[in-house]
Each structure stands twice: as C-alpha cells, then as structure tokens.
Structure 1
Amino acid sequence: MVWDTVRFDSLPPDRMAALEALVGPPDGWTARRDLQLRLLAELGLRSDHSFLDLGCGPLRAGLPLIATLAPGQYTGIDVDADCIAGARALVSEFNLENRTPRIVQSATFGADEIPDEVRFDRIWAFQVFIHLTEPLVKAGFAALGKRLADQGEAWITLRIQDDAPGFEVTGAWRDVYAINHAPLSYFAGLAADNGLSLTRLGRFDGRTKTGWLADDAPQAGPVTQVMVALRRTF
C-alpha cells in the first residue's frame, strides 16, 4: 500500500491540535497516523478490502485510508459526537465525498446503524478496547464476531496481565474512558464465545516508530500491551 498523506499535512497547527485533543495527548497527530498506516500495510491491508475503522475518531488515520482504499470500502465508527462531526467536516474539506466513506456515530459498535448483513474483510481497533469497561469489551467482541467476513481479520490492541485474577479496570481518561487489563486467556475466551480465534501478534507500544517491542524488552510494570489478530472459526 502507498498512502496518500502529504495533502493531509496541510491542516493549520491550531486545527490539528483541536482534533488531536479529541483523541489523545498532544503533538502526536502525524506520528500516530503514520504508525497506524505502517502497521496496516505490514499486516497486509489491500485497497480492495472492505475496512471497518472501529473508534475512528476525527479520521487521524481515516483520511489517507479513505483516499487510498477503493471507493465505498471505508467505514468509520465512533461513539463521540465531536469526533464524528470533525470527521465529516474533514471529508468535505478534502473533497473525499466521491470516495463514499461511511462515517457512523454509534454507541452500539454500529449494531443499530449498519445493516446486519454487512461484513468487513479487515477490522481495525487501535487503542480502543483498552479504554472500555467490561460490558463494552464484551459488546465489542460480539460486534467483531458479527461483522467479520468469513476470511477476514480483525487487528486490535489489548492490555494483558496474565497473573491478574480477571478483567480489571483502573484509572480514567476524559472522565468516561476506563483503562483496563486482563489475562490473554480472558480475551481468548471472549473471542471463542463469538466464533473467533485469537492470535497474539506481539508486544505493542504506540510510542515507538514501528509499534513493536521485543518480548524481552523491559517494562515498567506487570501489564503488557499487545496486538492480536482475530479470525473466524468454522
């Protein structure tokens, strides 16, 4: 994949900062975008794949995805009304309407807004599940099981602590988002409950250039962030 990113770097700094404030810490808009695109290319995303960006925010990675994927192949879902408003404004500003993206605000992972029969070849949930409460994590896995195409893959980041007694929530972000962790077996069980298999792809750190960490790299505490792949079982 060759990403069309240069034209999206023309946003004024104050506008970029305002959008960035919706989705995370400052001064990372371009770096976090490029990291996601690098990972997606590495994982094998193709322009003809139907793609679900779960937790799309104001299209930090979504703009070049919309521009590069075949028309009609991008769907972005987010719970935050401000993110969706920002996303739709950017689609118009960069004249991407002819790419016919689907931008959806949803508190149900699209269950109430997208027809039941719609399936996706690839689903991306970057730093999304780590900020959900347990009922939402369970609902999210159910959505993945429902939306993934037969030969599809979902790539998501999780926070793992294998000696934890179960799902645990600590901290807060923007007053409404949790920070969670659980044993990998917990998430594998959720995947199996929804007709999916879970494969650990490796340790993950969004602050690094490549996103990957060696398994023997030091860490500050017992929680490890990983990226996993989910595939449908038959």
Structure 2
Amino acid sequence: MSGRAMFLSRYNAYGGLGSWLTGRMTPAAFETAKPDPVSYLDRLAASDLGRSYKRRMLDELDLRAGHRVLDLGCGPGTDLQALARAVTSTGAVIGFDHDQNMVDAARTRTAGQAMVDVRHADIHDLPVPDHTADRARTDRVLQHVADPLTALGEIRRVLRPGGRLVMGEPDWETLAVDHPDSNLTRVYTRHIAERVVRNAGIGRQLARLAAESGFTVPTVIPVTPLFRDVQVADRILGLERTTRRAVEAGYFSDRAAEAWLSHLTRGPFFAAVTFYIVVAEV
C-alpha cells in the first residue's frame, strides 16, 4: 500500500501518468481524476449506450401494473423511477444495495414515491421472503460480487413461480482496443480481467450459472458497445486511470504505458466490448 500511495502522490503532484513518465502532460483526451461513484453511474445512464441497453432490459422485464420488482444493486436509484412508472401505484419497487451511501442517495431521489422502498442489504442474503417477487434485475452487479452462483440462488428463492430475472453484464475478456502493438492491447485486457474486475468473464457465464441455479434461460441478447471517440471511451472505460493501475501492478512498464496512451489520442480510435442481457425465468 505504501508503494501505491507513493505512486499516487507523484501522479497528483506532476499532473498525470504522462508527465510522471516523460515530463510531458497527460493528453487532454483523458480524464485523470476519478469521478465519484454516483456521478459515474449517472453519466453512464445518461449516455447513448446507457439509455439503449437499459431500455432493452426494461422491455425484457415485461413489467405490469401491480408487479413487485426488485432492483438488486440499485446504486443511487438510477432506474427506480422507470420501474415505478411501469408497475404503477398498485405495484412495488424495492431497491437493494450494499453501499450505504448509494442507499442514501437512492432514498433521496425517490422520496415521496410510496411504492418505492430502498434497503441496505447483501445480494447473497436478501431480506425477502420466499416466492414474493414477480421480477428482479441486476445491472452490472454480478461482475463485482463475491459469489455469483449464491446470489443467483437467492434471487431464484425470492421470485414467484413464473417470475423473471433480467441481468446485464459485460464480458471484459472481449474488450478490444485497436493499437499498432496488439500485445499492448492483450496486456491491457488481461490486466482488467485479472486485477480490475472480480468476475471479468461473467457475461458469457450468465446463462450457464442461471441454469445451474434452477432457472430456465429463454433469451440471451448480445450487445456490442462500440467507441470511436477516445474521450467518450475514456469517460466510460477510464483508459488513463486503468493504465495507471496496470503500471502499478507491473503489467505495463513506464515506456509501454506511454506508448499505449499516446497512440490512443492520435487516432483513429476504436474500442468494443460485448455486453450480454440474459433473461432467466422460474
């Protein structure tokens, strides 16, 4: 930890990875300050990518008036209002998150909506009676949990017969960033898969894990977010910040990191990753 602190101290003092390595400032294309979690989730939801896949997930949930729906890993309540509109005042929306700050933000945003309840809870041990929910959703949550199979078992437990779960997760091992040195791309992706995201291959595993948990899986929808603007990509993927972490972890040398980032700013830029929407039913 002391080594990391020293690196970050130098990073902050000298203006970013590029300057720390070479005496030049990090290109303006990159966002060097990490956004706070609430701002980041709001940013993604407001992007074309976020609006598109969230709309598809909402369609696949097939919500009806009077449904009881669970938003598992609801964050700051980004999607709670859309769910509430779909189930109307006759239904109920319950958001769960393990982060109390997120719970507080979600409660503030949904204050006055009697059909919305936000709770602090662990997805591995939901405080919900058996077979009492009609629908559930997880949105980029299972990639981070300690045990996805246990979480899926809990979700199946609380869904009624005929209930539906809709999940959306990326497969980070499919991340492709064009670069003249393809080995740098492979190293960058490997660093994400091994060090940054706990369950980096969860997207491709969702259908199997759901089946192992007792669900049937009628639908798997691949979505391929495509980025051709480095600034847009960086605001979602955190290219510079992730490269900095790769240097700290020993995946990139200083020289390789400089070569990687400097080319990305010169373009043309191309990056893509596969995102899966999986529908599972009880």
The TM-score bracket by the shorter chain reads: 0.5 to 0.7
List runs of 5+ in structure 1 lacking aligned partners: 1-18, 163-167, 209-218
**Match of 2:107?**
88
Choose which of 17, 21, 27 in structure 1 pairs with 2:37.
21
Is 2:52 the counterpart of 1:41? no
Q: Residues 24, 198 of structure 1: CA spacing in aligned structure 2 closer, same or farther, 3 A cutoff?
A: farther
Is 2:203 the counterpart of 1:153? no
Choose which of 223, 247, 250 in structure 2 pairs with 1:204.
223
Paired residue type of 1:150: P
Residue pairs, 1:109-120, within 5 angstroms: 109-111=124-126, 113-114=127-128, 116-120=129-133
In 2, the alpha carbon distance for the partners of 1:122 and 1:39 equals 12
Q: Residues 104, 128 of structure 1: CA spacing in aligned structure 2 closer, same or farther, 3 A cutoff?
A: same
Residue pairs, 1:61-72, within 5 angstroms: 61-71=79-89, 72=91
In 2, the alpha carbon distance for the partners of 1:105 and 1:42 equals 26
**Match of 1:144?**
155
TM-score normalised per structure 2: 0.55
In 1, the alpha carbon distance for the partners of 2:203 and 2:99 equals 28
Paired residue type of 1:30: A
**Match of 2:189?**
none
**Match of 1:30?**
46
Paired residue type of 2:275: Q
Q: Residues 155, 47 of structure 1: CA spacing in aligned structure 2 closer, same or farther, 3 A cutoff?
A: same
Give the superposed CA RMSD: 3.3
Choose which of 136, 140, 143 in structure 2 pairs with 1:127.
140
Q: Identify which of structures 1 and 2 has the higher relative contact order when contacts are C-alpha pairs closer than 8 Å and 6+ apart.
A: 2
Q: Do the aligned partners of 1:119 and 1:149 also contact (CA within 8 Å) in 2?
A: yes
Q: Residues 78, 206 of structure 1: CA spacing in aligned structure 2 closer, same or farther, 3 A cutoff?
A: farther
List runs of 5+ in structure 2 lacking aligned partners: 1-34, 175-191, 228-269
Aligned length: 185
**Match of 2:72?**
54
Q: Residues 87, 206 of structure 1: CA spacing in aligned structure 2 closer, same or farther, 3 A cutoff?
A: farther
In 1, the alpha carbon distance for the partners of 2:78 and 2:169 equals 20
Report the 3-state secondary structure (helix = DSSP H, G, I; strand = E; otherwise coil) of the residue aligned with 1:130. Answer: coil
- The structure with the greater share of residues assigned to strand is 1
In 2, the alpha carbon distance for the partners of 1:152 and 1:122 equals 6
In 1, the alpha carbon distance for the partners of 2:226 and 2:41 equals 11
Q: Residues 130, 200 of structure 1: CA spacing in aligned structure 2 closer, same or farther, 3 A cutoff?
A: farther
Paired residue type of 2:75: G
In 2, the alpha carbon distance for the partners of 1:206 and 1:63 equals 25
Q: Residues 158, 49 of structure 1: CA spacing in aligned structure 2 closer, same or farther, 3 A cutoff?
A: same
Q: Do the aligned partners of 1:47 and 1:68 also contact (CA within 8 Å) in 2?
A: yes
Paired residue type of 1:195: G
- The structure with the greater share of residues assigned to helix is 2
Is 2:237 the counterpart of 1:226? no
TM-score normalised per structure 1: 0.64
Residues 28-51 of structure 1, C-alpha deviation per residue, up to 9 Å, x if partnerless?
343436752454135522232211
Percentage of pairs with the same residue: 20
Residues 174-195 of structure 1, C-alpha deviation per residue, up to 9 Å, x if partnerless?
xxx62520584x5444323322
Q: Do the aligned partners of 2:203 and 2:275 also contact (CA within 8 Å) in 1?
A: no
Paired residue type of 1:70: T
Report the 3-state secondary structure (helix = DSSP H, G, I; strand = E; otherwise coil) of the residue aligned with 1:131. Answer: coil
Paired residue type of 2:43: D
Q: Do the aligned partners of 2:42 and 2:78 also contact (CA within 8 Å) in 1?
A: no
In 2, the alpha carbon distance for the partners of 1:171 and 1:119 equals 37
